Structure 1
Amino acid sequence: MMVMLVEIVVQVVVLRQGWTISSGPRRRLGGMRIGAHVDPADPLAEATARHAEVVQFFLADPQGWKDPQARADADALRGADVDVFVHAPYVINVATTNNRIRIPSRKLLVKHADAARTVGARGLIVHGGHVDKGDLATGIDNWRKTFAYAEESGGFATQILIENTAGGENACARRFDALARLWDVVGEFGVGFCLDTCHAHAGGEDLVDIVDRVKAITGRIDLIHANDSKDGFDSGRDRHDNLGSGNIDPDLVVAVIRAADAPVVVETPGGATGQSADIAYLRKRLNG
């Protein structure tokens, strides 16, 4: 009886901490596991090619409005010893005042969250969006309405991770003063946050102490996009580069990862070769 009670307590602790129990070594799902954004055709093969512990991919054309389709490898993805994240299409902008974009964006985001759940995704990353004209407050309220819309059908099936963006003067998640206004509205829905180092640099937010500043607003960082930037500080241009090849001091990227203590995805160029080098660089720096 005592043994059974101990086993039950262990199971409860494991579930609350986000761990898994298997016949092999235990691993924590969180922490500094490192991987890459990969081609969606065979994410697990891409992970193997990069020695990645994390994969991120699209479930449909990132520049289109097509619904995600069922995947033949869904069971394999759910059962793999790889953390899975899904990125929503770039076209989604739930903040806009344009009804022909905002309403389809809400619907498509729900569908992608449903599909992301089928592959065991830990989060669905979506850009913060922007308002083409008018007051940013309208865009922020449109984010609130997005969660209210989802709750009509039971809420998002996969946790939404809002990502900071690089450009736009009326963006909801470029400047952190706007991000604070956004979180005042959406924080109650349990939304997560994805911090992109290139976007922050290009968006005019210094990487020094950025983790503290983000957590003071959101209370959390669920994923790091560790990217260098081809362009200068506050350029407003979203162009990623391999670590150490662009305009960001790689020491700052490493410091951000250490402070955030969250899974890491590189969205850098060069395919498996370029991304493997970035992953190896981060592992060496973080383990050194």
Structure 2
Amino acid sequence: MGTLVVILRQLAALRQVCTISSAARRRLGGMRIGAHVDPADPLAEAAARRAEVVQFFLADPQGWKDPQAREDAAALRDSDIDVFIHAPYVINVATPNNRIRIPSRKLLVSHAHAAAAIGARALIVHGGHVNKGDDLATGIDNWRKTFAYAAESGGFVTQILIENTAGGDNACARRFDALARLWDVIGEFGVGFCLDTCHAHAGGEDLVDVVDRVKAITGRIDLIHANDSKDGFDSGRDRHDNLGSGNIDPDLVVAAIRAAGAPAVVETPGGVTGQSADIAYLRERLNG
């Protein structure tokens, strides 16, 4: 499998020397491909990767500061590049800890407003967790309260996508049985879902028929994080790898994107070179 993947990646990368017009890219419909990039100049990063989609942070992913207005807001809104924003990792609206949960809610609202200002399609946030010994039902109800409180003032101004996570026995969105419990109480609020292939694999969920199993719970998949995994199945470790270089059969990643019919973002290492190869590989396989 490894040799074939390398050959396919090389062929796909060579084909990307030719410029892909916006019209040609749009023919892929929902299966537009891109990458998580540095936030300084996302449109330039997209051009360097020939990406149709970009995802980036609006503030320090490990910090609690509100995002600032961007000088390129109009350019981002007017671009034919689809923009997704990833919320900071520190956000955990599920926790019973008031000192984390309440600031998390406020920061999520702040990022939703900032994402709307640049025309982002959605804001992705991790499913969160409760502490060891806490009842997961408490975390799930805290998610319900997050959307209920937002609904009282008109709801989130940007579509919220909850992302499955790789680790933690007390996570709200690692195991799909927990995800089903979560969706039972938040599905009414129109929340969307982001499927991360590395997280599913490392979290102990088989990628075979993963889209069907997720959609049976959520009814939707709005975005795919198309990542390989440096670690084995059910490892609980969130370490992404380039497609075909880790422990996931890349055919399963391609199959998930095709089945979901959703745009895909690679959050893989290697900068422009590594991500361009991953994008080219996916585009080649999806068009082939």
Cross-structure match for 2:153 = 153
- Call closer, same or farther: CA 1:30–1:98 in 2, change over 3 Å: farther
Cross-structure match for 2:264 = 264
Cross-structure match for 1:230 = 230
Cross-structure match for 2:70 = 71
Cross-structure match for 2:11 = none
Cross-structure match for 1:58 = 57
Higher relative contact order (CA 8 A, sep 6+): 2
* Aligned mates of 1:103, 1:249 — CA distance in 2: 40
Q: What pairs up with 1:58-207 in 2 under 5 angstroms?
A: 58-132=57-131, 133-207=133-207
SS in 1 for 2:63: coil
- Equivalent pairs: percent with the same residue? 88
Where structure 1 has 5 or more consecutive residues not aligned to the other structure, the ranges are 1-23
Question: Could you list the per-position Cα deviations for residues 83-122 of structure 1 after superposition, in whole angstroms to 9, with x for gaps in the alignment?
Answer: 0000000000000011100000000000000000011111
- Call closer, same or farther: CA 1:143–1:30 in 2, change over 3 Å: farther
How far did 1:134 drift?
Answer: 1.1
How far did 1:151 drift?
Answer: 1.9
Where structure 2 has 5 or more consecutive residues not aligned to the other structure, the ranges are 1-21
How far did 1:30 drift?
Answer: 5.2
2:44 alignment partner AA:
A
Q: What pairs up with 1:4-15 in 2 under 5 angstroms?
A: none
How far did 1:44 drift?
Answer: 0.1
- Call closer, same or farther: CA 1:184–1:29 in 2, change over 3 Å: farther
Cross-structure match for 2:215 = 215
1:205 alignment partner AA:
E
Question: Could you list the per-position Cα deviations for residues 174-224 of structure 1 after superposition, in whole angstroms to 9, with x for gaps in the alignment?
Answer: 000000000000000000000000000000000000000000000000000
Q: What pairs up with 1:25-64 in 2 under 5 angstroms?
A: 25=23, 27=26, 31-64=30-63
1:145 alignment partner AA:
K
* Aligned mates of 2:71, 2:150 — CA distance in 1: 27
Indicate conservation of the 8 Å contact 1:77/1:119, yes or no: yes
SS in 2 for 1:55: strand
How far did 1:152 drift?
Answer: 2.8
SS in 1 for 2:265: strand
Q: How many residues align?
A: 265
* Aligned mates of 2:51, 2:204 — CA distance in 1: 30
Indicate conservation of the 8 Å contact 1:29/1:83, yes or no: no
Indicate conservation of the 8 Å contact 1:179/1:217, yes or no: yes
Indicate conservation of the 8 Å contact 1:227/1:267, yes or no: yes
* Aligned mates of 2:135, 2:286 — CA distance in 1: 42
Q: TM-score, normalised by structure 2?
A: 0.90
Q: TM-score, normalised by structure 1?
A: 0.90
* Aligned mates of 1:25, 1:104 — CA distance in 2: 42
* Aligned mates of 1:62, 1:141 — CA distance in 2: 25
How far did 1:153 drift?
Answer: 2.4
* Aligned mates of 2:273, 2:155 — CA distance in 1: 39
Indicate conservation of the 8 Å contact 1:174/1:200, yes or no: yes
* Aligned mates of 1:287, 1:60 — CA distance in 2: 35
* Aligned mates of 2:130, 2:226 — CA distance in 1: 26
* Aligned mates of 2:226, 2:103 — CA distance in 1: 30
Question: Could you list the per-position Cα deviations for residues 106-143 of structure 1 after superposition, in whole angstroms to 9, with x for gaps in the alignment?
Answer: 00000000000011111100000000131100000000
How far did 1:28 drift?
Answer: 7.1
- Call closer, same or farther: CA 1:104–1:254 in 2, change over 3 Å: same
- Call closer, same or farther: CA 1:95–1:189 in 2, change over 3 Å: same
Cα RMSD over matched residues?
Answer: 1.3
* Aligned mates of 2:180, 2:218 — CA distance in 1: 8
SS in 2 for 1:208: coil
* Aligned mates of 1:237, 1:161 — CA distance in 2: 21
Indicate conservation of the 8 Å contact 1:33/1:53, yes or no: yes
